[in-house]
């Protein structure tokens, strides 16, 4: 039935020119898309409560990008998105096929449609892709992982190159990302993009690709979580259909079905095309208003078709196939459609009498039981059957048969037999099981028995990383492996049983399937003798005629019928070229005619026809094939020959456009072509017949036939090695497998994921290849890819995705789950060598990603498995386990293993292995604190390395001795050893492993130099180490060295400019490693370094660095760090005297804390913002707002009394500086009261001293005197240090001046000055004593020395109120 939206379009076209562009039509259905560019951001205080940090960041990041010039890197989110926001979209999950549906849209008026035709065309082609992270077990949203994915997406918004590359691979174009709404806005420009993207949606690749993009290694290492998680993606399928429709109309060349009853063709004129219901039409836009040019695929006739009579085919694959695989004549009508019937086998019952019209048709009576030879496919006119009563075989017309008694093909098979699965699933040799088994073995290889190890140095390990508890738990799933008891039971297993699980491989082609049991038989061979005398001798041709005249199929005939012309090499010999062979076969044919050897005659005609096809002599081939068909009168004894004759002859009729002959032959040809499982292909030309049959199956809607033919096309393309051509059909076959899946089974008929993965890999689509392989579930079918193949494939393609070669030093975390699945599979098959290999790889992978518990666990497993294989393997695995223990800081177990290995080497001549053990034993003893024994074992290792002449091992032993000396403070001895080690490395040929070891040695040497204050030499070692790391592009090595250099130039030998240079390099390394948190932290440090330079240019650079860190912290939702970055940016604007932006950034910092209800952080930010003004030289009064209006209320809310006290002290000091003494008195009084509550005498002293100062400025001198005396009362009764004496001296001097000049009390003034003189005497400050004596000299009657006041410098006066009146 015609789609409703198409009708709407047609109704709007009445009296209106048919739109000629995609945009005009598509916008008829499109909701307007309102885009926003760089909008003005609201004031920070305007953010509503509950706003997420990321939402704040999304708004504020625009301001940052505008100011820093980085706005061009991100497209920014769209405010309104086409597709109906808020509508629920259908799920597009794996195994839920999505054929583009009819496009149903809300009703609009014709005027609205016409007005929207002329909109911008990109608006119509945009579509929203939403994603959600869900748990498979609970079928609920995993909010924690959803948030993690959203954070990653925020991080990618600033640099969307990876996302653009991913969607480009998925045949879509990224418009923008909207992390807050968990969606991507995509657009399409071509029909192929829509087709490919919808296919990837159907196959589940989009969600898997997003999973690969959005999750980090911690997720992949947590196998239980990863297995239970899926990313569900949703799109508006109606909108996708609209986009597809729009692109079809823009192209103006597509296929449609006819809708009857819409128009009367006899009334439309002679040019109108006569159409039947649902007839397929190829239509083209010729520019007319209401009629397009159409060609019927049924009749081949052309004419004008009203647009009202068209219902476009919605499936993109059908449009592509019908357009690219056209034929010269129309549909035959031999094949009919089917509704719910499926392909069956077994026996059926005749419903009517039938007498065969030709020798090859079976005669039967009503009620006869007929056995189906092969398959019974509904919709075909014929099938091959055998009469149960007579035993005769022939073609049976399906219209006289009831298939109700037949049985289905089997659980989940649907359109193929069980034996047909295996050959198709077999991967070519360069991507098959053996290839990846070898790859895994290479990854597991280690040199630990021959090469020493530097103490604590594993170049690829992320040792500082602390994994989450979930990851640690996930790596201990020993239940995945065999139990220790089961493994020990294997000790009795013979070595012949310890084989690889993939050793029983299936044959590569269907020909091999037919012949795999017949290898013991020799095919007959015939010598070609063209001697003229012999050509007339019947006895010469008797052997070949006897061989070819057998009335039934024998295996030796397979080479005659196969696709590869193998008979040229296996059956005939002695000819110099094919013309000689043709002559010989032609002569043999003539003798077959003379002797009436029918079967030999037929087979010779077939061989001659095949050779003609090979030389592209189709007419001559047709003559031979027709001759063979004409004399064949009992061909069912050799069904492969009968099928090959029919199919080859039909392909020639099709190629030569002989419609009548082709149609007469088609029905039986299709039965032989598609209904005989396991039939071998005989010619590449069979493709043309299969393409025609697929075209008819699509035209009539026969889904079972379509799937069967598509399967055969894929099979033939793969045998021909046409990887580019086979991919679309394989994808379609995978979709059909899911479509035809019956509800009562969970297994698909054919999981083509391995073949698809291989094909995607060849087309270099690493994301899709990886997604396909991850979705593949090994079935256990013999010869099909195993979990070992999947693990190897995923390892290889993940490395491609990361842009690196797969090496032992870079095993991706994404492969963790699949390596464990492969291990489980090899455990079930008891393949010990591959188990050990996988355990070694898993151990190394966990080591590289910092999960040392997992590394030790699998290394121990490898040791147990190695004992079943041999002493050499057990020694190697034990040594590796000991090394893992050492890296895990467990020297005890490592030492125990090393002692045991030393005992096992006793009495052997394994010098190198002994040295390796001594070296690791020394590292273990050092870890246990046994320094002397450690040194002895290092020396033994060094001696053995010298004995074998191994300079690398000598260098390592010397370096370890140097490090041992360095760690115990013997820097000079350490320097000696390390220099010798470096000299040995310099003599060796440079490889990455060697020079990265040298890097480690240089870092130790630099530390030894620095300890001996040889800064220049230390700097040289650091920088030389960096040169080697740069040479090999070793990013992690550079990171470690750069961190050391930054510390060196910041703390050890300060050099601001050099420190900035290395911090900038540190930033670039963090970016390469995609470590956003590290990058943000280094940007912050770099900002502080630039700020310290103090120049205007440096401040601008500091601001840029701060904004970079701010973006990152917003993306990562690091609330505290983001708030600090906002604050730092405000401070920098203040230093740059751009005051209009200062408070805006301060408010953004504070609002960030308040939205997360982090009141403690907000209080701290208020105070720091106030400090900026307080310590500055401009606008100091604005500090009051942040102190009094912001920080103080929060301090009271949080009951932070000390903070409140500090704030009031600052407020009092600020008002004193601003000469606001009345306000200063208020704040100082509050500070004094709080200081008493705090109970800290020093804080109390400071508060009362400041209060005394305020009283003095307010001319309240007696109150000032009282507060000063209070401060003196807070000091200890005995002087503790010279600082206390100085304080006494100054305060008493101040009191003396106050009472003398302000209170006019000479007696008290004299007493104060005398006390001050006593304190000055304690200080032994003659100058200060002289000043005080001068003061006393101005007071009549005052005592002239300390002798009159014994003890006054030691005891305070306690005769006043001591501040009691104040509080």
Check residue 298 and give its pLDDT. Answer: 81
CB crowding 502-528: b at 16 or more within 10 Å, else e: beeebebbbbebbbeeeeeeebeebee
- How many other C-beta atoms are found inside a 10 Å radius of the C-beta of residue 861? 25
Check residue 21 and give its pLDDT. Answer: 29
Tokens of 440: 């895994």
Check residue 908 and give its pLDDT. Answer: 84
Residues of the chain with pLDDT under 70: 1-124, 260-271, 338-340, 411-413, 423-425, 429-430, 459-523, 531-535, 740-749, 804-809, 1342-1367
Check residue 411 and give its pLDDT. Answer: 66
Q: Which residues pair with 573 in a beta bridge?
A: 527
| Order of strands, sheet of 126-135, starting from the edge strand that comes earlier in the sequence | 173-178, 183-187, 126-135, 229-235
10 Å CB burial of residue 934 (0-12, 13-18, 19+) is: buried
Q: How far is CA 66 from the centre of its chain?
A: 31
pLDDT tens per residue across span 520-564: 445 688 878 776 556 677 777 888 899 999 989 998 898 899 888
Residues with Cβ within 8 Å of 1105's Cβ and at least 6 positions away in sequence, in order, are 1083, 1084, 1086, 1087, 1090
Check residue 739 and give its pLDDT. Answer: 74
Q: In whole angstroms, what is the distance from residue 38 CA to residue 60 CA?
A: 11
Strands in 826-931 per DSSP E: none
Check residue 1342 and give its pLDDT. Answer: 67
Q: In whole angstroms, what is the distance from residue 531 CA to residue 533 CA?
A: 5
Which spans in 802-831 are helix H? 816-828
Check residue 491 and give its pLDDT. Answer: 43
Q: In whole angstroms, what is the distance from residue 744 CA to residue 702 CA?
A: 22
CB crowding 238-268: b at 16 or more within 10 Å, else e: bbbbbbbbbbbbbebebbbbbbeebeebeeb
Q: In whole angstroms, what is the distance from residue 1220 CA to residue 52 CA?
A: 41
3-state SS class at 174 = strand
3-state SS class at 296 = strand
Residues with Cβ within 8 Å of 516's Cβ and at least 6 positions away in sequence, in order, are 507
Q: How far is CA 362 from the centre of its chain?
A: 59
Check residue 191 and give its pLDDT. Answer: 92
- How many CA atoms are closer than 13 Å to the CA of 1181, on its beta-carbon side? 4
Check residue 326 and give its pLDDT. Answer: 86
Average pLDDT in the chain:
82
Please spell the DSSP secondary structure of 683-740, one letter per residue: -TTHHHHHHHHHHHHHHHT-HHHHHHHHHHHHHHHHHHT-HHHHHHHHHHHHHHHHHT
- How many other C-beta atoms are found inside a 10 Å radius of the C-beta of residue 626? 17
State the sign of the Cα–Cα–Cα–Cα dihedral 790, 792, 797, 798.
positive
């Amino acid at each position: 039935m015609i789609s409703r939206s198409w009708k709407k379009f047609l109704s709007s076209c009445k009296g209106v020119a048919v739109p000629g562009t995609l945009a005009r039509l598509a916008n008829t259905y499109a909701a307007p898309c309102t885009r926003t560019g760089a909008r003005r951001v609201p004031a920070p205080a305007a953010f509503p409560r509950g706003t997420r940090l990321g939402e704040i960041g999304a708004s504020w990041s625009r301001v940052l990008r505008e100011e820093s010039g980085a706005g061009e890197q991100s497209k920014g989110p769209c405010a309104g998105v086409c597709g109906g926001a808020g509508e629920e979209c259908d799920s597009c999950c794996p195994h839920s096929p999505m054929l583009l549906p009819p496009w149903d849209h809300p009703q609009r008026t014709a005027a609205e449609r016409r007005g929207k035709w002329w909109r911008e065309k990109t608006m119509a082609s945009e579509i929203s892709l939403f994603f959600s992270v869900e748990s498979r077990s609970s079928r609920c949203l995993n909010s924690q992982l959803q948030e993690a994915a959203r954070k990653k997406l925020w991080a990618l918004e600033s640099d969307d190159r990876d996302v653009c590359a991913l969607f480009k691979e998925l045949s879509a174009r990224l418009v923008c990302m909207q992390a807050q709404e968990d969606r991507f806005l995509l657009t399409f420009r071509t029909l192929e993009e829509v087709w490919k993207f919808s296919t990837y949606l159907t196959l589940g690749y989009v969600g898997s690709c997003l999973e690969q993009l959005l999750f980090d290694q911690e997720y992949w290492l947590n196998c239980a979580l990863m297995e239970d998680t899926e990313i569900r993606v949703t799109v508006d399928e109606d909108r996708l259909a609209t986009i597809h429709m729009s692109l079809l109309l823009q192209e103006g060349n597509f296929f449609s079905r006819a809708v009857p009853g819409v128009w009367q063709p006899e009334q439309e004129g002679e040019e109108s095309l006569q159409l039947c219901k649902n007839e397929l039409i190829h239509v083209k836009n010729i520019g007319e208003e209401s009629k397009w040019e159409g060609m019927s695929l049924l009749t081949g006739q052309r004419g004008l078709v009203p647009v009202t009579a068209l219902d476009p085919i919605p499936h993109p694959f059908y449009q592509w196939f019908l357009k690219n695989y056209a034929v010269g004549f129309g549909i035959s009508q031999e094949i009919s459609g089917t509704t719910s019937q499926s392909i069956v086998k077994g026996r059926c019952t005749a419903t009517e009498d039938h007498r065969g019209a030709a020798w090859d048709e079976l005669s039967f009576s009503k009620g006869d039981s007929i056995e189906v030879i092969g398959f019974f496919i509904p919709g075909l006119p014929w099938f091959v059957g055998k009469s149960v009563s007579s035993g005769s075989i022939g073609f049976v017309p399906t219209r006289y048969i009831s298939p109700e008694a037949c049985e289905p093909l089997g659980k989940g098979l649907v359109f193929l037999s069980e034996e047909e699965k295996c050959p198709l699933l077999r991967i070519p040799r360069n991507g098959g099981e053996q290839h990846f088994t070898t790859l895994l073995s290479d990854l597991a290889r280690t040199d630990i028995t021959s090469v020493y190890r530097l103490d604590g140095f594993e170049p690829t390990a992320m040792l500082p990383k602390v994994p989450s508890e979930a990851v640690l738990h996930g790596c201990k799933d020993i239940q995945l492996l065999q139990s220790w008891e089961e493994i020990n039971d294997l000790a009795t297993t013979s070595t012949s049983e310890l084989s690889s699980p993939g050793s029983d491989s299936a044959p590569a082609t269907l020909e091999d399937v037919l012949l795999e049991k017949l290898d013991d038989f020799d095919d007959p061979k015939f010598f070609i003798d063209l001697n003229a005398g012999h050509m007339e001798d019947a006895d010469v041709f008797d052997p070949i005629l006897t061989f070819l005249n057998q009335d039934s199929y024998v295996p030796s005939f397979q080479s005659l019928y196969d696709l590869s012309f193998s008979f040229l090499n296996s059956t005939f010999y002695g000819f110099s070229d094919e013309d000689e062979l043709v002559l010989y076969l032609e002569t043999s044919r003539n003798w077959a005619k003379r002797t009436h050897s029918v079967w030999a005659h037929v087979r010779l005609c077939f061989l001659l026809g095949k050779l003609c096809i090979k030389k592209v002599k189709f007419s001559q081939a047709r003559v031979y094939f027709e001759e063979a068909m004409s004399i064949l009168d009992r061909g069912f004894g050799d069904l492969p020959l009968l099928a090959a004759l029919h199919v080859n002859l039909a392909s020639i009729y099709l190629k030569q456009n002989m419609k009548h002959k082709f149609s007469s032959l088609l029905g039986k040809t299709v039965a032989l072509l598609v209904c005989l499982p396991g039939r071998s292909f005989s010619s590449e030309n069979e493709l043309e017949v299969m393409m025609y049959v697929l075209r008819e199956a699509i035209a009539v809607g026969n889904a079972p036939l379509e799937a069967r033919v598509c399967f055969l096309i894929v099979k033939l393309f793969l045998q021909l090695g046409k990887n580019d051509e086979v991919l679309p059909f394989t994808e379609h076959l995978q979709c059909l497998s899911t479509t035809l899946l019956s509800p009562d089974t969970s297994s698909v008929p054919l999981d083509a994921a391995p073949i698809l993965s291989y094909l995607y890999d060849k087309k270099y689509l690493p994301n899709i290849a990886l997604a396909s392989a991850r979705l593949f579930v090994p079935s256990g079918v013999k010869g099909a890819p195993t979990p070992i193949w999947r693990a190897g494939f995923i390892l290889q393609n993940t490395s491609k995705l990361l842009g690196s070669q797969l090496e032992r030093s870079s095993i991706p975390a994404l492969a963790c789950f699949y390596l464990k699945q492969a291990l489980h599979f090899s455990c079930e098959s008891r393949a010990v060598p591959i188990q050990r290999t996988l355990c070694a790889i898993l151990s190394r992978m966990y080591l590289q990603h910092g999960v040392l518990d997992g590394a030790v666990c699998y290394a121990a497993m490898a040791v147990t498995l190695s004992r079943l294989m041999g002493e050499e393997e057990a020694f190697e695995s034990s040594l590796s386990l000991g090394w893992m223990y050492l890296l895990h800081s467990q020297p005890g177990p490592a030492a125990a293993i090393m002692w045991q290995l030393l005992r096992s080497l006793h009495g052997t001549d394994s010098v190198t292995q002994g040295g390796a053990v001594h070296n690791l034993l020394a590292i273990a003893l050092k870890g246990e604190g046994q320094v002397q024994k450690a040194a002895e074992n290092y020396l033994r290792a060094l001696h053995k390395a010298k004995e074998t002449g191994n300079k690398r091992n000598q260098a390592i032993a010397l370096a370890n001795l140097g490090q041992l000396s360095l760690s115990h403070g013997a820097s000079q001895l350490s320097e000696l050893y390390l220099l010798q080690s470096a000299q040995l490395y310099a003599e060796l040929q440079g490889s990455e492993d060697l020079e990265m070891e040298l890097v480690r040695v240089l870092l130790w040497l630099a530390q030894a130099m620095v300890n001996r204050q040889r800064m220049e030499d230390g700097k040289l070692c650091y920088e030389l180490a960096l040169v080697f790391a740069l040479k090999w592009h070793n990013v992690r090595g550079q990171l470690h060295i750069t961190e050391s250099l930054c510390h060196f130039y910041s703390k050890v030998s300060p050099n601001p400019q050099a420190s900035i240079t290395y911090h900038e390099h540190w930033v670039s390394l963090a970016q390469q490693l995609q470590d956003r948190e590290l990058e943000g932290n280094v940007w912050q440090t770099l900002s502080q370094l630039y700020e310290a330079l103090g120049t205007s240019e440096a401040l601008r650079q500091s601001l840029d660095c701060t904004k970079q860190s701010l973006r990152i912290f917003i993306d990562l939702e690091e609330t505290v760090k983001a708030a600090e970055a906002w604050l730092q940016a405000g401070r920098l604007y203040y230093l740059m005297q751009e005051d209009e932006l200062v408070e805006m950034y301060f408010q953004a910092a504070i609002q960030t804390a308040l939205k997360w209800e982090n009141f403690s952080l907000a209080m701290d930010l208020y105070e720091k913002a106030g400090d900026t003004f307080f310590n500055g030289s401009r606008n100091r009064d604005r500090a009051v707002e942040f102190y009094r209006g912001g920080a103080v209320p929060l301090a009271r809310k949080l009951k932070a009394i000390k903070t409140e006290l500090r704030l009031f002290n600052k407020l009092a000091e600020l008002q004193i500086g601003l000469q606001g003494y009345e306000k200063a008195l208020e704040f100082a009084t509050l500070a004094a009261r709080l200081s008493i509550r705090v109970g800290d005498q020093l804080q109390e002293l400071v508060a009362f001293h400041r209060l005394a100062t305020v009283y003095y400025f307010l001319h309240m001198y007696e109150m000032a005197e009282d507060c000063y005396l209070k401060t003196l009362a807070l000091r200890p009764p005995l002087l503790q240090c010279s600082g206390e004496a100085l304080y006494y001296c100054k305060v008493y001097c101040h009191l003396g001046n106050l009472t003398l000049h302000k209170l006019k009390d000479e007696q008290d003034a004299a007493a104060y000055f005398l006390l001050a003189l006593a304190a000055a005497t304690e200080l032994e400050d003659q100058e200060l004593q002289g000043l005080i004596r001068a003061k006393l000299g101005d007071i009549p009657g005052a005592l002239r020395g300390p002798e009159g006041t014994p003890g006054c410098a030691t005891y305070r006066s306690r005769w006043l109120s001591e501040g009691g009146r104040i509080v």
